[in-house]
């Protein structure tokens, strides 16, 4: 498959954002294959938050990476709005990520030489939006996350909590379908963790975004709509928190 299409469907049918079926992912080391994801099944509904918990090495981050097009999977199917991702060329996967995915990582990954506003505007510049339009959109979302007064500051001039709020703003600036958050509070203290989670939940509900959150913090996971437990590359069960 050589192209990624954003297939619009009637609103009544736009409930399932993501469907994952029988996804398998291998890594090779020392001439041996290691199965990291084992026939994973998962689906996500628009406007809901899903938490994924499990021990280190269980495959949680790999799962997010294959959904986000950062890593390829070996077999199975991943569909976003009905469009299959398996086999897409790298350039098309990059287009998919820019159009549909917002990432928030444990490390904020902000570019040190740019201001908060310029960092948030970057995904829009990649879309070839004008500098003026991209900066204006970035300004609006930074104000929404409470950092309107810190827009001109570089990452080194911001606290860890502020940098993560900038990364949340950057994830949302393109109005993506899916937010993939991999331990976004992992480097924060309890107070900042709770503040960031409250912010993420508020934005998710206000904008009706689908969020898949990987976390080790049970108190944060409990605020999601559903909790999945991953053990040894497979889901061990699901607890609904609604």
The model carries a pTM of 0.88
Share of the chain above pLDDT 70, in %: 92
Strand, helix or coil for residue 240: strand
| Integer angstrom CA distances of residue 103 from 1, 76, 115, 171, 181 | 24, 23, 19, 5, 6
Q: What mean pLDDT do residues 199-216 have? A: 91
β-sheet bridge partners, residue 227 = 51, 239
Q: What mean pLDDT do residues 66-77 have? A: 93
DSSP state of 137: H
- Residue 7: the pLDDT is 41
**DSSP per residue over 168-181, as a string?**
HHHHHTT--SEEEE
At residue 86's C-alpha, the angle toward residues 84 and 88, to 5°, is 95
- Domain boundaries 47-75+88-240, corresponding CATH code: 3.40.50.300
- Residue 38: the pLDDT is 94
**What ranges do the domains of the chain cover?**
47-75+88-240
């Amino acid at each position: 498959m050589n192209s990624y299409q954003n297939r619009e469907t009637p609103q009544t049918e736009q409930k399932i954002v993501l469907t994952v079926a029988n996804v398998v992912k291998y890594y090779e080391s020392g001439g041996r294959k290691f199965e990291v994801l084992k026939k994973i099944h998962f689906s996500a509904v628009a406007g809901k938050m899903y938490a994924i918990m499990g021990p280190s090495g269980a495959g949680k981050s790999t799962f997010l990476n294959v959904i986000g097009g950062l890593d390829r999977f070996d077999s199975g199917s991943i569909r976003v709005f009905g469009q299959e991702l398996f086999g897409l060329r790298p350039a098309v996967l990059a287009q998919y990520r820019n159009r549909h995915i917002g990432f928030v990582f444990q490390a904020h990954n902000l570019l040190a030489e740019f201001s908060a506003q310029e960092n948030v505007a970057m995904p829009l510049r990649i879309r070839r939006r004008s500098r003026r339009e991209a900066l204006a959109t970035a300004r609006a979302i930074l104000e929404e996350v409470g950092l309107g007064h810190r827009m001109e500051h570089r990452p080194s001039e911001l606290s860890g909590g502020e940098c993560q709020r900038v990364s949340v703003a950057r994830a949302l600036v393109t109005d993506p379908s899916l937010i993939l958050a991999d331990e976004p509070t992992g480097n924060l203290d309890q107070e900042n963790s709770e503040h960031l989670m409250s912010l993420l939940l508020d934005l998710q509900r206000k904008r009706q975004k689908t969020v898949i959150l990987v976390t080790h913090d049970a108190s944060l996971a409990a605020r999601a709509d559903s909790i999945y437990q991953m053990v040894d590359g497979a889901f061990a069960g699901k607890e609904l928190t609604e």
